[in-house]
Amino acid sequence: ALVRVSLEQVVAWDPDVIVTIEPAFAAAVQSDPAWQGVKAVRDRRVYLAPLVPFPWLDLPPSVNRLAGLKWLGRALYPDLFPEEDVRQEALAFYRLFYRQPPTEEQLTRLLRGL
């Protein structure tokens, strides 16, 4: 579930990676000087999780979490989860569960969290 913490707490934790479902935060954090002390921001490892048609990693609980596992694997361990494999699995997932695969452009935007 969503947890809100202060910037001071995040700076104290100094995470290697930040995953968010907030598009505004993901867009703003790289240019916000207050966040530059956080390793994940410095290393450009702030990821916006896919949100269509429901969040892939958060609420509501849904089958999208299955696709979210591969997406998260790719974000955390890109050498172990090649981009093309994640793309193909996402296409297969949408065909199976939604009977409507996204276009290539939609898939690219989706996997980038747009």
Length of the chain, please? 114
Residue owning tokens 């747009």: 114
What is the reported pLDDT for 98?
A: 94
Which stretches of the chain score pLDDT less than 50?
none
The C-alpha atoms of residue 39 and residue 87 are separated, in whole angstroms, by 28
Nearest to 112 by CA among 46, 54, 30: 46
Helices 83-98 and 64-76, packing angle to 10 deg: 170
What is the reported pLDDT for 1?
A: 52
Question: Is the peptide bond between 60 and the residue preceding it cis, with omega within 30 degrees of 0?
Answer: yes
